[in-house]
Structure 1
Amino acid sequence: MAVTIAAPITGTVIPLTEVPDPVFAKALVGPGVAIDPGVAATLTVTAPVSGKLTSLKPHAFVISHRPDQGVLVHLGIDTVHLKGAGFTLRAEAGQQVEAGDELIVWDLGTAREAEKSVVVPVVVLEANAGDLTLAEAGPIDAGDALIRIG
């Protein structure tokens, strides 16, 4: 059964290899792509797929859409060091979410002032790159198809 992972934010799709973090760039966490939000000041981050919000931190979340597979969305690089500053949570870990549900509002100014990358990796956990069809590099709107599994 094919699953579509939607873009959680609006921006520009870039290859994972261009993410300024070797763990993501080398796909050590899993295959996927990243989105550069460009000059956006504030982003509403939405659920890219329906499922259980198994992990929710201010800077990252995982939605399990299958018992053995989840989608990780990481808001920026090294943004864990911001200790939640600039992030407003709109959901709770453990809840069921639908694709498009608002999960986090992100004020990117805080990350930029701290000189953190605001690139957003979207990674499919427990997946093989060969099973994924990734969106082409270029502009994308939140809710558009980003990754297809199967």
Structure 2
Amino acid sequence: MTTRVLSPVKGVLAPITEVPDPVFAEAMVGPGVAVHPELTAGDAVSPVDGTIVTLHPHAFVVATAEGAAVLVHLGIDTVKLQGEGFTLHVAKGDAVRAGQPVIGWDPAAVQEGGKSPICPVVALDATAESLVDVREFGPVEAGDALFTWQR
């Protein structure tokens, strides 16, 4: 089974090791990539077609019909913002399409609040070897393919 994972935000694609949090940087939650978001307010979109299985103001997990689950985390330590500056566009249990807005946020406000706005995009329950066709690091648009996940 192959899952194509799209960028949830516009920005610059970087290795997961650039995330200033060892849980993500050392792939403890799973392998993936990170996006340094453009510092303008907008929506984070779903990286895959599926169901919202976890939803917080600062993070969400979408599970595909085949069981692949992708975590999108909007910034680091943003849980400490207690939802301020984030707008949910969906509810837990909702079916979403890749590219559909999930959470509205402002990366510049996150940065001004002293938090890193970098966005880890993680393939949960995957191995580093299962991520293939990882896009070249550099500029990405929301909805651009980041990597393919072989299950």
- Give the TM-score normalised by the residue count of structure 1: 0.95
For structure 1, the 5+ residue unaligned runs are none
SS of structure 2 residue aligned to 1:143: coil
Runs of 4+ aligned residues of structure 1 deviating over 4 Å after TM superposition are none
Does structure 2 retain, via aligned residues, the 8 Å contact 1:86–1:109? no
Q: How many Å separate the matches in 2 of 1:68 and 1:50? A: 11
SS of structure 2 residue aligned to 1:73: strand
Deviation at 1:66, TM superposition (A): 4.4
Q: How many Å separate the matches in 1 of 2:12 and 2:106? A: 18
Counterpart of 2:24? 24
Aligned residue identity for 1:70: A
Q: How many Å separate the matches in 2 of 1:108 and 1:14? A: 16
The yes-or-no answer on 1:75 pairing with 2:74 is yes
Aligned runs of 1:40-59 on 2, under 5 Å?
40-59=39-58
Q: How many Å separate the matches in 2 of 1:66 and 1:77? A: 28
- Output one character per residue of 1:54-111: Cα deviation in whole Å (capped at 9) or x when no partner: 0110000000114543000000000000000110110001111111111111022431
Which range moved further: 8-17 or 105-114?
Answer: 105-114
Does structure 2 retain, via aligned residues, the 8 Å contact 1:41–1:108? yes
RMSD, matched Cα: 1.2
Q: How many Å separate the matches in 2 of 1:15 and 1:66? A: 27
For structure 2, the 5+ residue unaligned runs are none
Identity %: 48
Q: How many Å separate the matches in 1 of 2:107 and 2:145? A: 24
SS of structure 1 residue aligned to 2:64: strand
Does structure 2 retain, via aligned residues, the 8 Å contact 1:51–1:66? yes
Q: How many Å separate the matches in 1 of 2:112 and 2:10? A: 21
Q: How many Å separate the matches in 1 of 2:127 and 2:107? A: 31
Does structure 2 retain, via aligned residues, the 8 Å contact 1:35–1:120? yes
Aligned residue identity for 1:79: T
Aligned residue identity for 1:34: A
Counterpart of 1:137? 137
SS of structure 2 residue aligned to 1:24: helix
Q: How many Å separate the matches in 1 of 2:107 and 2:144? A: 22
Aligned residue identity for 1:137: F
Q: How many Å separate the matches in 1 of 2:49 and 2:70? A: 10
Counterpart of 2:105? 106
